[in-house]
Amino acid sequence: MHYDLIVRNGHLLDVAQGLDRTGSLAFAGGKIAAIDVSEADTATAEVDASGQYVTAGLIDLHTHVYVGGTSLGVDPDELARGSAVTTLVDAGSAGAANIAGFRAHVIERADVRILAYLNISFAGIFGFGGALSVGEGWERRLLGVRECVAAVRDHRDIIVGIKARVGPSSSGDSVIDPLKLALQAAEELDLPVMVHVEMPPPTIDEIADLLRPGDVLTHCCRPYPNAVVSPRSGEVNRSCMAARERGVFFDTGHGRGSFDYAAFGRMQRAGFLPDVISSDVHLFNRKTPAVDLLTTMNKAIALGVDLPDVVTMATTAAATALRRPELGALKVGAAGDASLFTLEETPRELFDSLGALLVAQKSLRPRGTVQAGAWREAVL
């Protein structure tokens, strides 16, 4: 059999598909065409993946890549090429007023796949900076459900949900209203909501109690207060436990201030790890501490999470949260995406959002990706 591309002799890793062994992967017509092809099979292009892990295409569920249109956007292709990611999900950089610009000037020009949560704020994240920072939820007149719904209907192919940011810096006196309005829009559209959690108010109880099956609570590894697990009792917050039981996803969303090693450790001990691992990378944390998805994955591995579980968080679980079953799986007929990386025994200093240092003894290093059946070498 002749294929467009064969990735040979890699360590195929996809827990959901029962793969954790050496094998070869073939692509044709932009999709995964075969697993375990023979030496006699040929391809227009071949990649030797000996000594490398081959997983479904990594999905970063929380990024900010509206570069040039917002103050916090980073270049999506540069980010993806350096982190072996095949799908970037922008978490609310754009609202109804500027999603068309985001699409035309960034999404449609990028090599990497970009999907988006649409911000319930008409203007999106318009005032996120260093010395100057204005939360988009502060201005109630911009929280337009009707405009949000109309914009999603115009761009349904790329929009995966509605984003709301709540807290003193994000919503100010509007408190939890952006989330309530985002839920209204999401109900009409049959889409999930992703909600940003920061310092109270509102409390994490108030937030989690509103969330429905399939919604996403991001920044779940943030420090106390509004932590998922109490530092005093070591117990999982009641509202968070109930939310998980009814099908709410808990997303890492590392970011600039939302990944605390101590909080992550408490979640481990309580048996309440995040469902999804993501970077929340943006211009103001690109160098440190978030950097990219592989760096966040490295931190989870250094903290004791097994590689197969970390990969599942960044593939199968992320695709499930997105309601995109064609992504995040090494199976015939799935999107022709794969991520290749090595796990090297190279000590590396990793900082959390509070400045705590962890020296990882092993770290993932990107080798490249397959996107729609085409090979792309990593650029570091």
In sequence order, the β-bridge partners of residue 246 are: none
Q: Is 219 annotated as a binding residue?
A: yes
Q: Which uninterrupted H or E stretch holds 187? A: helix 177-189
Q: What is the dihedral of CA 119, 58, 258, 198, to 10 degrees?
A: 30
Q: Which of 142, 108, 141, 144 is nearest to 125 (CA)?
A: 142
Q: What is the dihedral of CA 149, 150, 153, 157, to 10 degrees?
A: -80
Q: Is 196 annotated as a binding residue?
A: yes
Instruction: Give the integer Cα–Cα distance in Å for 160 and 179.
Output: 16
Cα 366 to chain centroid, rounded: 17
Q: Is 64 annotated as a binding residue?
A: yes
Whether residue 273 contacts residue 305, with contact meaning beta carbons closer than 8 Å, is answered with: yes
Q: Is 280 annotated as a binding residue?
A: yes
Q: What is the dihedral of CA 46, 47, 49, 54, to 10 degrees?
A: -90
Amino acid identity for residue 12 in this structure: L
Tokens of residue 84, six digits: 């072996």
Tokens of residue 6, six digits: 């064969």
Binding residues for Zn(2+): 62, 64, 163, 196, 219, 280
Binding residues: 62, 64, 163, 196, 219, 280
